[in-house]
Amino acid sequence: MSKEIRSPRHETLRRLIKERRQRAELTQAQLANRLGWNQKTVSNIEAGSKRVTAIELIELSEALGFDPAAAIRRIAKVKEG
């Protein structure tokens, strides 16, 4: 199990969140506003410099309209280094 912030699974999660935000036609600032977060937090998540907690994943999924369980299943299929 990798603790690396740049692991293949972390990269998959980062890309998924960014893709979902773009699909929703939201800017980082708009998403942050929906969540009551700072825009820099969203930027750091998308850049891969901030880990996402389980609670944050649920909040992101609610704001962006995706199933967090399906996202976790997708990430779990990614092979680690």
The closest of 42, 72, 61, 50 to 6, measured between CA atoms, is 50
Q: In which domain, by residue range, is 54 found?
A: 8-76
Instruction: Report pTM.
Output: 0.89
Question: Residue range 42-51: average pLDDT?
Answer: 96
For residue 2, being part of any structural domain is answered with no
Asked if residue 13 belongs to a domain, the reply is: yes
In the chain, the number of structural domains is 1
Q: Which residues touch 10 (CB under 8 Å, ≥6 apart)?
A: 4, 48, 51
Span 26-39, pLDDT tens digits: 999 999 999 999 99
Q: What is the pLDDT of residues 2-18, one digit of tens each?
A: 555 779 999 999 999 99
Residue 1 in domain: no
Residue 40, in any domain of the structure: yes
Supply the pLDDT for residue 80. 82
Distance CA 67, CA 7 (A): 22
The CATH number of the domain holding residue 35 is: 1.10.260.40
